[in-house]
Structure 1
């Protein structure tokens, strides 16, 4: 592309994103270690003391700063791919919601962009709702990642945190859960639409406990912004990935995108492929403090059907062939 101010801002936004995603914690830990060895060691002690004192904050999802999700740099990043948010139905703020977001992809770019920032105008698209992106608990204790996610209103994906968010007296809370989790990174191959969902029912139990409506969300193009090395199911590399997922809650993947100055070069910046996040119609769910397995299975089936219908209704408008099918594992 020609060298313009808009292009330069987009490249800076991309660098900020990839640096944050892959290296922020390492840099922060290195800085803390160096400061600890200097005369300013007391700063590190105060930071760690504050980290311990605020250890319950990730459960609440109430630590956001409105100016962080509204940073202009988010808009430049979204404009590069580009990323868009599509509403198919109203979500009235007189109730709570559990949004299941699919697929996870390599970095969940579509989900984070649309529900943790104002890059696509989330508060204008769904006025009156307060969104909390649910992330792995460990991410909320890593220096750098912690401050980023908490500033954007994220909460922990554990049960205690999600129950707290949805049990507040003020309605209009919406938790966004990447249901497939890191396991879906194994299937983040361009052109593939394979979701880890058949045995993921915790989010349905959550909705039933609080009477929160279930909302299916699909990000078309999420799997197209990186190239991924896929390994055979019987290979030792795949076994290593699965074992790492069980032990460490993440899957190590070999992926690549484009370089800084050329779309044809190799690098770790995401490819300029559009991501369209479509928010489906809400599924009303009754409140059952102790839901039975039959109730969970019933609403889980309804959710899967609604998600598949959402995919079928929007796949062609998002550039997919009519023959493309959604697969559940």
Structure 2
């Protein structure tokens, strides 16, 4: 019986990558990959550029007109099932995965069943958690018919970005929405570090929500080590919700994502308070040739085995801590199992 079920749910690869015993490599295509990155990430810079250009070079009345047009796109209804939108999203997902290129490894694809909702705990956040594209529904990798990536709510008030990211499968990262999606059978990708993790990034270190590890920056020519600091004890909400909904937790770690961008951000308590209020960190970031296009640095996204949970509508703090510790250990073990394969064999991992 179990063998029959596993046979029916064996993963069938779609377009855009090759399959090697559970490891999926997306072949690189620089032209399509660059365009996909520009569409997915460049819309943020496009809005800012349009506003600055209008403010500097146009009469004030025309500037107000531009602001009004952009505001119109904020309230313009979105058809989530738009044929054009879904085709665009599939194009972006497939070719962004090929750009770096990205290698996606799932330890056991047959552990995932299409009739079950999962909570994917993804790390690290970095400037942008762009490695989540390998898990997106539009990429066509995971055998899950319904999959959403929970994203900071300001995205859905940003012209153009809100449309594209909705078509890509993003959804607001609120507790109510999280529970509603799981209840309706959607698996959810959660990047739990969020604003706190981004704000605490440093040029000689990268903040990671789950762990503290030393990563050599050898791929881009520097000789120092990057120290990743963890803030795991502060964040347990996604674990509690997974327990309340009875959804398995899945550890995910992305190697190499931190090299996608250079960045600058202001510091201080006031900026942190502002970042928490507006749900994102006001910062500048840039990639190849100073553009929004990220640097081409290979990324390796590894997906561990699901941690099954019994539904518990009112878990105690002690029960949440117990499951939380189980998840942390699973993520730590996932990292240790795969670090040598992706070129980080000598890296220590320290959980805080």
| TMscore range, shorter length | 0.7 to 0.9
Relative distance call for 1:239 and 1:273 in structure 2 (3 A) is same
Relative distance call for 1:305 and 1:6 in structure 2 (3 A) is closer
The corresponding residue for 2:99 is 80
- Cα deviation for residue 325 of structure 1 reads 1.7
Residues 96-115 of structure 1: matches in 2 within 5 Å? 96-111=117-132, 113-115=133-135
The corresponding residue for 1:262 is none
1:179 alignment partner, one of 192, 195, 207: 192
Aligned partners of 1:93 and 1:12: how far apart in 2?
Answer: 32
The corresponding residue for 1:248 is 278
Relative distance call for 1:48 and 1:184 in structure 2 (3 A) is closer
Residues 66-215 of structure 1: matches in 2 within 5 Å? 66-71=86-91, 73-89=92-108, 90-111=111-132, 113-116=133-136, 118-119=138-139, 121-122=140-141, 126-168=142-184, 171=185, 173-185=186-198, 186-187=200-201, 189=206, 191-215=226-250
Counterpart secondary structure, 2:116: coil
Aligned partners of 1:80 and 1:131: how far apart in 2?
Answer: 22
Relative distance call for 1:21 and 1:316 in structure 2 (3 A) is farther
Aligned partners of 2:253 and 2:181: how far apart in 1?
Answer: 23
Counterpart secondary structure, 1:68: helix
Structure 1 gaps of 5+ residues are: 231-235, 260-265
Aligned partners of 2:70 and 2:158: how far apart in 1?
Answer: 14
Superimposed CA distance per residue, residues 3-41 of structure 1 (whole angstroms, 9 cap, x where no aligned partner): xx95443433343344124334764997xx969849xx9
Superimposed CA distance per residue, residues 251-278 of structure 1 (whole angstroms, 9 cap, x where no aligned partner): 234544321xxxxxx5543221111111
Relative distance call for 1:321 and 1:22 in structure 2 (3 A) is farther
Relative distance call for 1:145 and 1:68 in structure 2 (3 A) is same
C-alpha RMSD over aligned residues: 3.5
Q: What's the TM-score once normalised by structure 2's chain length? A: 0.71
Counterpart secondary structure, 1:179: coil
Relative distance call for 1:10 and 1:137 in structure 2 (3 A) is closer
Aligned partners of 2:349 and 2:70: how far apart in 1?
Answer: 52
1:226 alignment partner, one of 261, 282, 287: 261
Aligned partners of 1:8 and 1:96: how far apart in 2?
Answer: 35
- Cα deviation for residue 224 of structure 1 reads 1.7
Superimposed CA distance per residue, residues 197-253 of structure 1 (whole angstroms, 9 cap, x where no aligned partner): 2211100111011100011111111112223469xxxxx834454233333222234
Aligned partners of 2:46 and 2:228: how far apart in 1?
Answer: 29
Contact 2:195 2:276 in 1 (8 A): no
Contact 1:116 1:131 in 2 (8 A): yes
**Count of aligned pairs:** 293
Contact 1:225 1:270 in 2 (8 A): yes
Contact 1:24 1:145 in 2 (8 A): no
Contact 1:25 1:142 in 2 (8 A): no
